[in-house]
Structure 1
């Protein structure tokens, strides 16, 4: 089985695949101090929770934005005695990236682009609600061509509460109306609906820049808060929380061909 790792700045998503089937998935905080031994113990606990043996893992594929943890995850692969592939530098030959500096494109964005094109068709636009809100654009040829990066919902909320002492932590829920009737609702409108409105505006601009093909571009939401934001906009054709993990799997499979 393939163990796919999507290492974000805030959370790490882990998926266990048997062929194309996602057998099980987990999320854990991204801790920059973790060693390979601590990561190994975490994995052991997750697998034991569902009665799965770590011995069933035959390969580990990794996409990450935290360089110092790359070495530790590679060490986990060594401990498990399985091959390790890093999306990006190891996989450029099987991915389509049309950017001035391909090496600068985040591995998660490459994985999103591959999965979007393979599973939903091209052109497509991925909106990934993680630590940052990323928009990844795949053109009609199936190539990743760029996108946008904006502060994520968590970052926006942290910045607001740290600069405005009267604003306590507000639950990330969809407000009933665009006019907040109290402070909590007003913050939810600004953060959640505001993020949805940003996505709508940027998707519209991207469609226009793609030209005639952009009118039929599929728009996919992914990331930890995708479900929340998707509940207050109709801009998304699909919500796929596992898109990045699926992209890692697809890239791994291409490497084996």
Structure 2
């Protein structure tokens, strides 16, 4: 079986594949201070709780946007799984031509999402990932990664309001009943949910316009923690794919396994 691990700034999402089937997935908080042993014990506890044998894991692939964990997690997999993982980065075959000024600048998660989206939905496709940062990626019909957009995510925007103002409270990120808030909390919630939905649609419109495409011809896929909440209020997002990143890791693993 294959263990896939996606390390984000806020969460680490991991899953286990039996062939092409995802049979298990979990999400834990990213902690840059944890040691490889602490992560090893954490994975061990999860697996034991859910009756998964570490010995059944044959291979591991990791993507990470957190540099401080780029040594920690591979060290953990070698010690606790006795497996040297594939780590998304230079030298790893993705099957996608990255048309960025400096391809090394593209976050591993963005590449993994783009590979999965093109494989599953074809192109042209726009991928919107709702994470600590919101990322928008454009892949053309030929499967080339052309670039995208990065904005602050909804969580850090809400946190900034709380930290940088004297009287605004910290609020739960949830959809209010009406756009026009009747109190401070619902007013902030409205600004976050509907403000981000409007921004998402506007950026997608501009990307499609810039590429001289019609909306009917471009697939728009969302993923990430707040994808269901925000996508429901947008006009352009056509599919929410919760497991897009995990699928991308599996696909890249298979391409490298074959190439080796």
Do Structure 1 and Structure 2 share a fold, with TM-score over 0.5?
Answer: yes
Aligned residues: 257
Equivalent in the alignment of 1:63: 63
Equivalent in the alignment of 2:99: 98
CA distance in 2, matches of 1:19, 1:136: 28
**Alpha-carbon shift at residue 164 of structure 1 (Å):** 1.9
TM-score (norm 2): 0.95
Q: Is the 8 A contact 1:115 1:247 kept in 2?
A: yes
Determine helix, strand or coil for the equivalent of 2:201: helix
Q: Is the 8 A contact 2:200 2:234 kept in 1?
A: no
Equivalent in the alignment of 1:84: 85
Determine helix, strand or coil for the equivalent of 2:62: strand
CA distance in 2, matches of 1:116, 1:52: 29
Q: Is the 8 A contact 1:58 1:83 kept in 2?
A: no
Residues 1:155 and 2:149 aligned together:
no
CA distance in 2, matches of 1:212, 1:193: 26
Q: After TM superposition, list the pairs within 5 Å mapping 1:238-253 onto structure 2.
A: 238-253=239-254
Determine helix, strand or coil for the equivalent of 1:255: helix
Cα deviation digits, residues 139-195 of structure 1 (max 9, x gap): 111111110000011110010011223222211111222222221111111111111
Residues 1:28 and 2:37 aligned together:
no
Q: Is the 8 A contact 1:127 1:220 kept in 2?
A: yes
TM-score (norm 1): 0.96
Unpaired runs of 5+ residues, structure 2, are: none
CA distance in 2, matches of 1:215, 1:146: 21
Unpaired runs of 5+ residues, structure 1, are: none
Equivalent in the alignment of 1:196: 197
Determine helix, strand or coil for the equivalent of 1:38: helix
Determine helix, strand or coil for the equivalent of 1:212: coil
Determine helix, strand or coil for the equivalent of 2:206: helix
Residues 1:111 and 2:107 aligned together:
no
